[in-house]
């Protein structure tokens, strides 16, 4: 059986992962998150200006979409980039990280979108954020609670 392949029980992650695949993942994820939030914010502000100007033409109708603009951008950004061929966001690529399903297959758009929704919900509910992050300190595969619920794992690129 290969080092990265599934075992007889069908599990792929984390029991079959070498230590090097998880080395430094937590700190790299933090830097990747900061980079991705900056990119999402730049995209948001560019579209915000467009929606404000469009609101003048549409008598303010496009302004009703502004409150859902940032979450929509974040979901599309994460879903499209994680389910893409690089298997990670630009920030994750910068930090040499990739995301896969528990069985080692690439993450689908819907699963990546669910993952980011769970992440933002954990931060929106103040009590869940510490639990989410503490979970990564208490397990060997360094997965946060939203990773476990979404069925994904973040590793270093091979």
Measure the CA–CA gap between 53 and 57, rounded to whole angstroms.
7
pLDDT at 21: 79
Low-confidence stretches of the chain (pLDDT < 70) are: 1-16
pLDDT at 158: 73
Tell me the helices (H) and strands (E) count for the chain, helix number first. Answer: 6, 2
pLDDT at 45: 97
The SS3 of residue 155 is strand
pLDDT at 13: 52
Reported pTM: 0.82
The SS3 of residue 140 is coil
Smallest CA-to-CA distance from 36 within 99, 107, 102 is with 99
């Amino acid at each position: 059986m290969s080092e990265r392949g599934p075992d007889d029980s069908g599990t792929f992650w984390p029991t079959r992962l070498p230590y090097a695949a998880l080395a430094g993942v937590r700190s790299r994820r933090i830097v990747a998150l900061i980079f991705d939030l900056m990119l999402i914010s730049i995209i948001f502000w560019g579209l915000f200006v467009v929606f404000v100007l469009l609101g003048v033409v549409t008598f303010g109708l496009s302004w009703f979409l502004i409150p859902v603009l940032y979450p929509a951008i974040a979901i599309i950004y994460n879903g499209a980039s994680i389910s893409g061929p690089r298997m990670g966001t630009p920030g994750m690529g910068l930090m040499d990280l990739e995301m896969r399903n528990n069985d080692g297959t690439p993450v689908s758009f819907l699963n990546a979108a669910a993952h980011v929704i769970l992440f933002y919900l954990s931060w929106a509910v103040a009590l869940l954020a510490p639990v989410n992050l503490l979970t990564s300190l208490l397990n060997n595969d360094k997965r946060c609670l939203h990773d476990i619920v979404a069925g994904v794992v973040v590793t270093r690129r091979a």
